[in-house]
Amino acid sequence: MTKKIDRLSLTPFSQTTFDVALISSAGGAGHKIAALAIKSAHPGDCYEINTFGTLGKIGKACTNSWDKAQKQGNVKKQIKLAKRQGFAEALFSVPIYFRICYVLLRYDIDKIIDTQAIGTLPIVRAARTVNFIYRLFRKKKVITVWKIFIELPNAKSLYYHRYIKKLSKKDKKIFKFVSISPSLKTSEEEENFWKKFCNLSLMKGEIVYADSPIRKEFLAYKDCPPKPNEVAIAINTEEELTILRSLHDELGPCIDPDSPQKLLHIPVKSDDIVMTLMLGSQVAEKATSNYVSSVLKLEEIAKTKNKKIYFFVFCNKHIPQQETLFKKVADLIKSQQCENPHIKIIPLTFQNASEIASLMYRSDIAVIRTGAQASHEAKNVVQGQILIHSEATNSSGDQMELLKGIPLWEGGNAQFLIENHQAKIVNPDILKNHLEDYLLERFDDHYLA
């Protein structure tokens, strides 16, 4: 058994018009973004369900705790919360079961598409219950459950899906687990991998390989078109524009007045260095500020080589007149940046997928946190170096030590990117040295050219 199973070129639910129950969850943004990507590709009707929403304020408190830990960069708390999955399964199982049963019957659902990890057993059992009711009334309809694995497949990233092992033989008759293929050499290795971590069989069709559900804006770069000679960023408030222009005078009136969205167009030459920092939907504020400080220390090499470095920093939403991360980063740039036209650090507020995809595609270096969607989108779009943020304070650059600062399945995603896409792990303390080596090599290449 050495021949590899072919991957599907499209997700197996994007070509028919059946009605689906689309299940996601709050807590980060990856599950919701994956669900939206599926919804945009699916021609039928979708009824959306948030698993944590089945318990109202309790569910909201759970997701707020996770988001707060991510924002603080508190890896220990994230691991502690993740290890309470058993409690969450017990707490949410009954409300999830009854909610799914109601939706399946009320909206005549054909299939369930599930992008998250909580409540696999009650979701499958709800589908089986409704199928039993249909059989009683001689209705020829069988609801199936498609679990979409939105992480990158390896041992650590499958941590959250260990409850799939508890599915019975009858459960598995209506269950499919959808993933990209793991980076293994043979089908036999893959079969053993899925058996070990999910107790599912690739050969029996319980595992389905398909493209990852990424947003359509990122698919536009699949064939590697020429890199753009400008970067367009969304401006959401007048105060944002005022602050950006106070940082960089040359950011003049480059906004198209006829566009429904205010986009600031920044010219970028082919030999300019473009770097991006995007630390998740719940941006780690302290780490973001420290990365900005590290890049500001590159002014000497940038001045010596007479090259421009653009560093785009995602800061999430900005509220005028408030001390948001966007405002804090702008103030940090003002306080530390010397008169150096070679380094342009540009903080960003909320950006649409089209702006994010274009910027990531143009990036020579992208520093990311390895959440599910960020990992998939980076591996599909980034043509330059992928650097993975770690909360570990290790300053030696030892990759195994730095990996300890990445929680659970995000650590699994990081391992996948390191093994398959030459990614490296960094933190703010070692970023400067890494970038100096990269930029010296890159600038010397330009001079030789």
pLDDT in tens, 292-319: 999 988 877 777 667 788 999 999 888 8
Residue with tokens 């705790």: 65
Q: Of 167, 194, 213, which one is at a domain's C-terminal end?
A: 213
Is the pLDDT at 373 greater than 90? The verdict is no
Is the pLDDT at 160 greater than 60? The verdict is yes
pLDDT attached to residue 238: 87
Residue 376 counted as domain residue: yes
Average pLDDT, the chain: 85
Q: Label residue 118 by pLDDT band (50, 70, 90).
A: confident
Query: Stretch 361-365: mean pLDDT, rounded?
Result: 94
43-60 burial, b for 16+ CB within 10 Å, e for fewer? Answer: eeebbebbbbbbbeeebe
Is the pLDDT at 256 greater than 80? The verdict is no
Q: Of 186, 213, 240, which one is at a domain's C-terminal end?
A: 213
Q: Of 213, 228, 250, which one is at a domain's C-terminal end?
A: 213
Residues 162 and 223 in one domain: no
Is the pLDDT at 444 greater than 70? The verdict is no
Residues 256 and 116 in one domain: no
Q: Label residue 252 by pLDDT band (50, 70, 90).
A: low
Q: What is the CATH number of the domain that holds 336?
A: 3.40.50.2000
Is the pLDDT at 447 greater than 60? The verdict is no
Residues 291 and 332 in one domain: yes
Which domain covers residue 324, as residue numbers? 219-448
Residues 240 and 206 in one domain: no
* pLDDT tens readout for residues 190-234: 999 999 999 999 999 999 998 888 888 888 887 788 888 889 899
Please write down the HEC assignment for all residues of 66-89: HHHHHHHCCHHHHHHHHCCHHHHH
144 vs 435, more confident? 144
pLDDT attached to residue 15: 53
β-bridge partners, 385: 365
pTM attached to this predicted model: 0.84
pLDDT attached to residue 57: 84
Residues 391 and 437 in one domain: yes
> What total of structural domains would you count in the chain?
2
Distances (CA, A) of 305 to 108, 248, 434: 65, 21, 17
Residues 349 and 249 in one domain: yes
Is the pLDDT at 279 greater than 80? The verdict is yes
Q: Label residue 363 by pLDDT band (50, 70, 90).
A: very high
Residues 196 and 246 in one domain: no
Question: For 353, how many CA atoms within 13 A lie in the half-sphere containing its CB?
Answer: 18
* Cβ(205)–Cβ(226) below 8 Å: no
Residue 60 counted as domain residue: yes
Q: What is the CATH number of the domain that holds 77?
A: 3.40.50
* Cβ(360)–Cβ(382) below 8 Å: yes
Q: How far apart are CA 45 and CA 39, in angstroms?
A: 8
Residue with tokens 């919701």: 32
Rg of the chain taking only CA atoms, in angstroms: 23
* Cβ(214)–Cβ(37) below 8 Å: yes
What is the percent of the chain with per-residue pLDDT over 90, rounded to a whole number? 39
pLDDT attached to residue 448: 36
Q: Label residue 8 by pLDDT band (50, 70, 90).
A: very low
Is the pLDDT at 13 greater than 70? The verdict is no
Residues 204 and 225 in one domain: no
pLDDT attached to residue 10: 43
Q: Label residue 48 by pLDDT band (50, 70, 90).
A: confident
pLDDT attached to residue 332: 92
Residues 229 and 140 in one domain: no
* pLDDT tens readout for residues 308-352: 889 999 998 888 889 999 999 999 998 876 556 788 999 999 999
pLDDT attached to residue 258: 58
